[in-house]
Amino acid sequence: MGNRSGLIFSLLMSAAFLPHANAEEVSDATFRCLNDMTAVRHFYVDNLLGNIEETVAVANNPKGGRYPEGAVVQLVPSEAMVKREPGFNPATNDWEFFELAVSPEGTAIDKRGFAEVVNKFGGNCFACHVQAEPQWDLICDNNHGCAPIPLTRGMITAIQKTDPRCEPVELTDEDKANLKALQAALAAG
């Protein structure tokens, strides 16, 4: 094969293998320490196809917008949303929901799916997130129209800082008080 046809061949091959956020590609290894992701306000984003720029732009857009394929969004280590390939599940705007088990050894996917995934507290991810006004692409934040979660922003910060997959970070007295309040709330059920 001459140089020229070699080039055409490799272009064709790369087109055939254009990356997609396929089910096979979203695995335990997809997820990582929250601090290694990109922080946007109080949550974290990633993009499995490398499109972090557009992901951050949508997350920061005051008018909202649709997250690009491959986007990963997390508030706490154990829950994630991943934007799958276009048309994969129109009802959830192509978001797949994940309930994760995290430990110092890494991440294991506990549950994944679309409208059926529930978190540790029995709450259905989609049922809450679908309440977000349409321009927010199922992202709740604290003012997009979803019913609130029983976690204060202070508790969320403390949970993020104690992600067992990350290098330990120093907790402030406020973080420690928030973790205590969280434990008390969980124990009270």
* In the block, residue with structure tokens 């994940």: 98
- Rounded Cα–Cα distance for residues 165 and 163 (Å): 5
Nearer to ligand HEC, 49 or 129 (CB): 129
Total residues contacting ligand HEC by CB under 6 A comes to 27
- Structure-token pair, residue 137: 């692409």
Regarding 62 and contact with ligand HEC (CB under 6 A), the answer is no
Q: For residue 78, give the nearest of 119, 25, 48, 43 by alpha carbon.
A: 119
- Rounded Cα–Cα distance for residues 62 and 156 (Å): 22
- Rounded Cα–Cα distance for residues 171 and 161 (Å): 7
Nearest distance from C-beta of residue 15 to ligand HEC, angstroms: 32
- Which residues within the stretch 71-100 sit at the binding site for ligand HEC (CB under 6 A)? 73-75, 79-81, 97-99
- Which residues within the stretch 1-40 sit at the binding site for ligand HEC (CB under 6 A)? none
Regarding 125 and contact with ligand HEC (CB under 6 A), the answer is yes
Nearer to ligand HEC, 153 or 180 (CB): 153
| Long-range Cβ contact pairs of 146-155 (< 8 A, separation 24 or more) | 150/185, 151/182, 152/178, 152/181, 153/42, 154/178, 155/179, 155/181, 155/182
- Structure-token pair, residue 79: 């829950």
Among 43, 58, 77, 161, binds ligand HEC (CB under 6 A): 43
Nearer to ligand HEC, 49 or 83 (CB): 83
Task: Find the part of the chain contacting ligand HEC (CB under 6 A) among 9-17, 27-35, 123-131, 173-181.
Answer: 123-131
Q: Given the rule CB under 6 A, which residues bind ligand HEC?
A: 42-43, 73-75, 79-81, 97-99, 117, 119, 123-125, 128-129, 139-142, 146-149, 153
